[in-house]
């Protein structure tokens, strides 16, 4: 079984790079068109996926660019329990209900 491990790793890396390339928007692909990257990934089983992962895709920093030190603006969907605006609206709604209960005898 151990002798099959390198082949399985190469196949896994190729599949991961292939799916990553297909899911990457065209404007984030660097150096070559997306179709050429797909061909490179599929034809060159070890080198193609590695080159794609290191040089083919535009990577963004988690802290944001420009060194401003502030939080990066979220442009993707945020879960409700991580969304500060949603949590504030729940708190305001609960405060309103508590206030209504206090006014009734």
Q: What is the pLDDT of residue 103?
A: 58
pLDDT digits (tens, 9 = 90+) for 2-60: 889 999 999 999 999 999 999 988 888 888 888 999 999 999 988 999 998 888 877 77
CA triplet 59, 49, 3: central angle to 5 degrees? 135
3-class DSSP state for residue 70? Answer: coil
The full length of the chain comes to 105
Q: What is the pLDDT of residue 61?
A: 61
Section 74-97 average pLDDT: 78
pLDDT band at residue 87 under the 50/70/90 scheme: confident
Say if residues 90 and 97 touch (Cβ distance below 8 Å).
Answer: no
Decide which of 68 and 101 is more confident: 101
Decide which of 50 and 73 is more confident: 50
Q: Where are the beta strands (DSSP E) in 1-105?
A: none
Q: What is the pLDDT of residue 41?
A: 92
């Amino acid at each position: 079984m151990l002798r099959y491990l390198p082949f399985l790793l190469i196949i896994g890396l190729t599949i991961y790079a292939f799916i990553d390339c297909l899911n990457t928007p065209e404007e984030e692909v660097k150096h070559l068109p997306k179709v050429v990257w797909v061909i490179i990934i599929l034809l060159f089983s070890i080198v193609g996926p590695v080159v794609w992962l290191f040089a083919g895709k535009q990577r963004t920093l988690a802290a944001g660019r420009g060194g401003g030190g502030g939080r990066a603006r979220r442009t993707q969907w945020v879960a409700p329990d991580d969304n500060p605006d949603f949590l504030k609206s729940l708190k305001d709604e609960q405060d309103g209900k508590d206030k209504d209960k206090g006014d009734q005898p």
